[in-house]
């Protein structure tokens, strides 16, 4: 990323409370999913690994300038069988980033495929680099 881009990863002690820490839910360990962030002149792309997560168990939102990713994985159980014992718990995921005002959060595009979330966050028109024509005379 360039020096001018501000995408700051938020620590777990953020003002945005993960859904998994809600008192009404069972306490579960929350994992921080690994992400890659790519930048070009038009914006950034965030790619997060969320294995075992389906679209209905994924929540992506922008709140007070923070990009928040929350998800819960599920362990698939074959039809006709009931899970009796599980040593590998289905993880919950939480990750938050502070976005620079240079990004247009109203135009974020999200795509989930095979446990990989891809977010495209465009730069606002006023923040995009533009070429200035120099005239002679």
List CB contacts of 111: < 8 A, sequence separation 6 or more: 117, 118, 119
Domain that holds residue 103: 7-13+32-77+87-124
pLDDT tens by residue, 20-75: 444 444 556 789 999 999 999 899 999 999 999 999 999 999 988 899 999 999 87
In a domain, 118, yes or no: yes
**Is 18 a domain residue?**
no
| CATH number where 118 lies | 2.60.40.790
Q: How many domains does the chain have?
A: 1
pLDDT in tens, 43-55: 999 999 999 999 9
Examine residue 50 and state whether it is found in any structural domain, yes or no.
yes
Residue 92 placed within a domain: yes
Question: Residue 27: inside a domain, yes or no?
Answer: no
Task: Provide the terminal-to-terminal Cα distance of the chain, rounded to the nearest Å.
Answer: 38
Within a domain: residue 137? no
Amino acid 7: pLDDT: 58
Q: For position 27, what pLDDT does the model report?
A: 55
């Amino acid at each position: 990323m360039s020096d001018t881009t501000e995408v700051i990863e938020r620590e777990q002690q953020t003002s945005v409370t993960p859904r998994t820490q809600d008192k009404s839910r069972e306490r579960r360990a929350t994992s921080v999913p690994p992400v890659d962030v790519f930048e070009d002149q038009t914006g950034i792309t965030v790619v997060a690994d969320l294995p075992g997560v389906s679209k209905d168990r994924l929540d992506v939102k922008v709140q007070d300038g923070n990009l928040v990713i929350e998800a819960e994985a599920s362990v698939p159980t074959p039809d006709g069988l009931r899970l009796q014992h599980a040593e590998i718990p289905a993880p919950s995921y939480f990750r938050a980033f502070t976005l620079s005002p240079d990004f247009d959060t109203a135009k974020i595009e999200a795509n989930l495929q095979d446990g990989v979330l891809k977010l495209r966050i465009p730069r606002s028109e006023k923040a995009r680099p533009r070429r200035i024509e120099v005239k002679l005379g």
